[in-house]
Structure 1
Amino acid sequence: MAIQDPVPEPKVHVVLLATEAWGHTRPLCTFAARLAQTRRVNVTLFTAPNFAERVEAELSRSFGPSDEALRDLIRVATLDMGERKTVDALGFAAYNEAFARAYAKLVDGDTIICAHTHKKIKPISAPDAVVMDFFCVSGLEAVRKLSKKPVKVLAWMACHASVLIYPFAPESRGGRGDYRPKVMAEAASTGRPIEEVAEKVMNAYTGAIVRVPGLPLMYDYELSPQVVHLEGFAGVFYMMMQTFIDACDGTILVTAEPLEPEGVAKIRAWFAETSRKTYAVGPLFPLGENAVSGEKAQSDKPTEIDEFLETTLQSSGPKSLLYIAFGSLYWPTEPEKIWAFLDVVMEKKIPFILSHASPFAVVPDEVTAKVKAYGLGILSKWTPQQTILAHPVRNWLVCYTLRYKQYPRSHRS
């Protein structure tokens, strides 16, 4: 057995919290590993019951057998959400409330019980910093209220920089400006519910041309190309995120600055106006000796996908595969468009893999049968994304763009 170098006693305690979406939680696991490996700090990573096992598996991808001491710096605590066990990233009130209860115990030096393993997590020093998803505004409020010393709260933004600028940045930085005052004023004057007014104001598209830093010119309605499950909630949802952005002490962007230099620069300048820092830390992929095998172990069809990649490479050549990737939460409200798209793909004899992990995703039996008969496609709940993207057979990537309201028919071609 290799002799491990002793790990110095950590002097800093960082708390991590992502929302209940795997696309936000997965990179946070790698971020936790990097903190332990490069900074030697204590990390408490809170997660939801439905992600508990995946978080442990994802963390293991960044560590080998000789890294046990570093891995032990990361404490995974599943939040106790009572009877609510299913994913709920749209409202997630129970999630934030469970975090507030657990954070209070950290501050007071009390033992925490992991709701998944039921193991005791011993007290350590009170948190020095919190990195949390910018969806979790009530979680931020809990940190401000419960902390007994100054604690930095950094916004975890697991998305492209360009996605953040138009909805949240001031007009001087390429955004549309804060629409909260307009919503509150109209709700007060009309007596209409805030949710209704916020939805109306947010989706008041005029056909104007907008310039989002790092993206081509586009019409404003192109920012909302389809209906998803946030219909009727998106306006207030965005107001919550705007509140978090205004209140946090800085931001961590899970994007690569060389890929989005203009967008990152705009966000950095925007936050610098209030003496806050921006860190671009992506992309975040595990690099440990278990990185590849650990990812495949999480897939529902690892062997089948491996074999499919190799046989497709032999039969169709490099850059011949279409990878269609949907996230772990959001799913189109008009899935028939997906099946129509697959029909065209199969007519063109294009090999493909479709990943559909969302709990809302239901693949009709006739679609499953058609893909099976086609023989050049795979439908999978969980796919080893890094493996597929890195394989020489992969050419095109189609992923689901999350937008919140379908634009008016008068603007559609």
Structure 2
Amino acid sequence: MSTQNYHIVAVPPNEWGHMRPMIAFLARLVAVSLSSVDVTVTLIIAESAVAKARTELSIQLAGEGIQSAESRFEVVPTAVHMFWPAESYLPALKATYAEVIKTKEPDFALLESMIHPFFGVVRSSATKPVKVGAWLPVALPSWTSMAPICYIRDDPQAYVKQVQTTMAEKGLGYMEAASDAYLSHVNGRVLRIPGFPEMTDYEGFPQEALERQGLQVFSTWLKEQPKHSDILAVGPLTSQRTPEVARKEKEEADAGGFTTFLDEWAAKKGPKSVLYICFGSVLLPAEIEHLYAVMRVLLELQIPFIMVLSDAARAALPAD
């Protein structure tokens, strides 16, 4: 019996928190379909993140017990630093995609939701039916709990009108106007969202949430919209680590001294006594002095913390 061929073209952004779960998902998808479907994946990656993506892909595939990745995965760099804003990345991404589909068109295009201007390119380039999926790498209940999202959800037409008005009056592009409109609805009000503790709208990601309940609420709302789409919850994507992968991960953690530091502090103060600070692989506080203020307080109160900074973020900080 011959196996069915199925080709996926995936485009994650180079923000690590967005790219990594997509790579994990694709590795899992290939692993579970080995016996029934010949799934091949082309990953189009911003050139600044190619090396990191290849390393992560190897780790995820090894965790799934797949050793020979070359025949199933191909990583294709595109000449952009990051997928933002659209006018900066779209020409290069179009050109890269055109080269990719010369060899084989996708049956499914998995695209990061933030690069929605590219969705139409995939559809208009297709010479056969192609499904397009939007990848939204967030905890959905947290996403739907934020006050601006509640506002958009309850009255989407009013939000669209506000964005259009902001564009016209302030001369802003769509993304800038959308951000302006979005943030204008954060005012400290108390929110009561299914699956969440009571909170103010300043709390974008509360510490305790019921994933399933929040997802159901969001799915119900989405399907009530005139042009609804199916929504699938994926995760958590924890693969079965092979002994070799687990050993390498432990060695990397030990080499940085993090494991020893955390173990010693946990022995002294107990669980939940170390603060973890990370701004992601792309962003950094706009006012560096605000970051310094937080660090000064932590040092004064002798609260141990681990701060993770990308190379770009580290370079943006003064030498002191």
Partner amino acid, structure 1, of 2:40: N
Gaps of 5+ in 2: none
Partner of 1:12: 6
Is contact 2:46–2:83 with CA below 8 Å preserved after alignment? no
Partner amino acid, structure 2, of 1:48: A
So what's the TM-score if we normalise by structure 1?
A: 0.62
Structure 2 Cα separation of the partners of residues 191 and 60 of structure 1: 47
Percent identity of paired positions between Structure 1 and Structure 2: 27
Partner of 1:52: 50
Partner amino acid, structure 2, of 1:73: R
Q: Which runs of 4+ in 1 moved over 6 A?
A: 296-299
Aligned equivalent of 1:162, options 132, 137, 141:
141
Is contact 1:326–1:358 with CA below 8 Å preserved after alignment? no
Return 47-56 or 271-280, whichever deviates more.
271-280
Structure 2 Cα separation of the partners of residues 296 and 335 of structure 1: 33
Give the 3 Å change call, closer, same or farther, for CA 159–94 of structure 1 in structure 2: same
1:103 and 2:104 equivalent?
no
1:42 and 2:36 equivalent?
no
Structure 2 Cα separation of the partners of residues 182 and 305 of structure 1: 47
Structure 2 Cα separation of the partners of residues 162 and 53 of structure 1: 32
Structure 2 Cα separation of the partners of residues 27 and 206 of structure 1: 29
Partner of 2:212: 261
Give the 3 Å change call, closer, same or farther, for CA 336–175 of structure 1 in structure 2: farther
CA deviations 1:197-226 (Å, max 9, x no partner) are 555533433845544444444555x2689x
Instruction: State the aligned residue count.
Output: 302
Structure 1 Cα separation of the partners of residues 97 and 162 of structure 2: 34
CA deviations 1:42-94 (Å, max 9, x no partner) are 11111111111111111122233962245631211112x1xx5x4x4541544
Is contact 2:191–2:200 with CA below 8 Å preserved after alignment? yes
So what's the TM-score if we normalise by structure 2?
A: 0.78
Task: Please give the root-mean-square deviation of Cα atoms over the aligned residues, in Å.
Answer: 3.4
- Cα displacement (A) at 1:304: 2.3
CA deviations 1:215-262 (Å, max 9, x no partner) are 444555x2689xxxxxxxxxxxxxxxxxxxxxxxxxxxxxxxx84123
Partner of 2:66: 67
Give the 3 Å change call, closer, same or farther, for CA 191–262 of structure 1 in structure 2: same
- Cα displacement (A) at 1:9: 5.0
Is contact 2:141–2:210 with CA below 8 Å preserved after alignment? no
Give the 3 Å change call, closer, same or farther, for CA 205–70 of structure 1 in structure 2: closer
Gaps of 5+ in 1: 1-7, 110-124, 226-257, 367-413
Aligned equivalent of 1:276, options 216, 220, 229:
229
Partner of 2:285: 332
Structure 2 Cα separation of the partners of residues 144 and 205 of structure 1: 34
- Cα displacement (A) at 1:170: 7.5
Structure 1 Cα separation of the partners of residues 83 and 125 of structure 2: 24
Partner amino acid, structure 1, of 2:123: R
Give the 3 Å change call, closer, same or farther, for CA 291–339 of structure 1 in structure 2: farther
More helix by share: 2
Is contact 2:148–2:186 with CA below 8 Å preserved after alignment? no
Partner of 2:241: 288
